[in-house]
Amino acid sequence: MKKIDLSKFDNKWYNPGSKFKRILWYLFNRVFLKTYFPYPSRFKVFILKIFGAKVGKNIVIKPNVNIKYPWFLEIGNNVWIGEDVWIDNLAKVAIGDNVCISQGAYLLTGNHNYKKETFDLIVKEIIIEDGVWIGAKSIVCPGVRLKTHSILTVGSVLTSDAEEYTIYQGNPAKPIRKRIINE
């Protein structure tokens, strides 16, 4: 039976940007975003834009947010990003308008092919449509689309697309009921 051989791992095909750009971002991310120092959200948005993120208006970014590569990030208007959120975006992460990503949530765009002895890197984008709420300490896996106004509840793991106006819970997350918004 074959075995995994990490000495054969090769992800040279994956190029997230120049080494200089990545190192510079690492420093800026560490000093201005991945810190508990309460820099204003406007300042954090400014830094993200300098590094190529597409960011809308009225954004709230709480302390200690970690963003892998801002040049793969799109954020709409009226978005809240809670403390300790990790956007591990090896591929594009697109966040729509009026989205809430609660504290400690993890957006994961990378994985490995466990069926290959070389354990190849796999990257897939995440799309978060308008009105979505991602609960605290939840995980969104690579290639997932959260359709408009869906909810991923606290501590849940979403491994496949979430239908619109539907609440998902568990690991793996399953639909538990429809989301009804009252006036």
pLDDT in tens, 117-176: 999 999 999 999 999 999 999 999 999 999 999 999 999 999 999 999 999 999 999 999
Read off the pLDDT of each residue in 95-109 and give the average, rounded to a whole number: 98
The pair of three-digit structure tokens given for residue 180, joined into one six-digit string:
């009804």
The band of 97, judged by pLDDT with boundaries at 50, 70 and 90, is very high
- Secondary structure E strands in 26-143: 54-55, 60-61, 66-67, 73-75, 80-81, 86-88, 93-95, 100-101, 106-108, 110-112, 121-123, 126-128, 133-134, 139-140
Q: Hey, what domains does the chain have and what are their CATH numbers?
A: 17-169 (2.160.10.10)
Tens of pLDDT, residue by residue over 9-47, are 999 999 999 999 999 999 999 999 999 999 999 999 999
pLDDT at 183: 83
The pair of three-digit structure tokens given for residue 118, joined into one six-digit string:
């070389």
Burial 21-50 (b: 16+ CB within 10 A, else e): eeeebeebbeebbbeeeeeebeebbebbee
CA distance 47 to 35: 14
The pair of three-digit structure tokens given for residue 123, joined into one six-digit string:
């990257």
Q: How much is the pTM? A: 0.96
Residues 6+ positions from 107 with CB-CB distance below 8 Å: 85, 86, 87, 88, 89, 93, 101, 126, 134, 140
pLDDT at 128: 98
The band of 83, judged by pLDDT with boundaries at 50, 70 and 90, is very high
Q: Output the average pLDDT for the chain.
A: 97
